[in-house]
Amino acid sequence: MKEVFSNGAERGRGEHETELSRRFGVSRRTIHEWIETGQVDRDLEGGGTRYSPRPAVEHKLDGYKGIIAAAKPA
């Protein structure tokens, strides 16, 4: 079944952004952004918005991993 987000139809039925976000599997902020930017006719067949993983960041202790590993009792 192809599901399409249409702000006029959804909001006309009195549905809140929270209810819409649960139904479409996206965050409330995404629903709010779609409404603000006029992207109200969305094809959600693919399951909504997909987020990519965040890039890896260096941790404070990364430089000391060798020392910590050497000091750890076996």
Q: Is residue 74 part of a domain?
A: no
Parent domain of 38: 1-49
Q: What pLDDT, in 10s, does the model give residues 1-36? A: 344 555 555 554 667 888 888 888 888 898 888 888
Q: Is residue 67 part of a domain?
A: no
DSSP secondary structure code for residue 5 in this structure: E
CA distance 11 to 20: 9
Q: Is residue 35 part of a domain?
A: yes
| pLDDT value for 70 | 92
Percent of the chain with pLDDT over 70: 64
Q: Is residue 16 part of a domain?
A: yes
Domain tally, the chain:
1
- 54 CB neighbour count, 10 Å cutoff: 6
